[in-house]
Amino acid sequence: MAGSARSTRASTAVERLKNRTGHAGYSMVRTGDGLFCLSERPGEPPLCAPLELDDFVKFVNKLGPQEVRRVSKNDVEFEKQLVKKNKPE
């Protein structure tokens, strides 16, 4: 079960990359020793050396355009309140 959750986390990162880039060809490979690689298309050379799960997810998350975090007026006001509350007097 743990291996399945690991693969799900890695494949979810790849799906987010596909959505950000519009390139549906990205493919994840899991090696026999549990490491992960990414290629632009199945069967093509990997874009990275085999990586542990956390390193693989970080690598994939850095690729392509990054999603801009939407900030509402309420978020801005909430941040201001936090700063005021946490300021030493």
DSSP symbol at 47: S
How many domains does the chain fold into? Answer: 1
Residue 17 has a CB neighbour count (10 Å cut-off) of 20
- pTM for the model stands at 0.67
- Predicted confidence band of residue 87 (pLDDT cuts 50, 70, 90): low
Structure confidence by residue, pLDDT tens digits, 27-62:
999 999 999 999 998 888 999 999 999 999 999 999
Structural domain for 34, as ranges: 2-86
The whole-number pLDDT of residue 1 equals 45
Cβ–Cβ < 8 Å for 39, 45: yes
The whole-number pLDDT of residue 15 equals 94
Mean pLDDT of the chain: 84
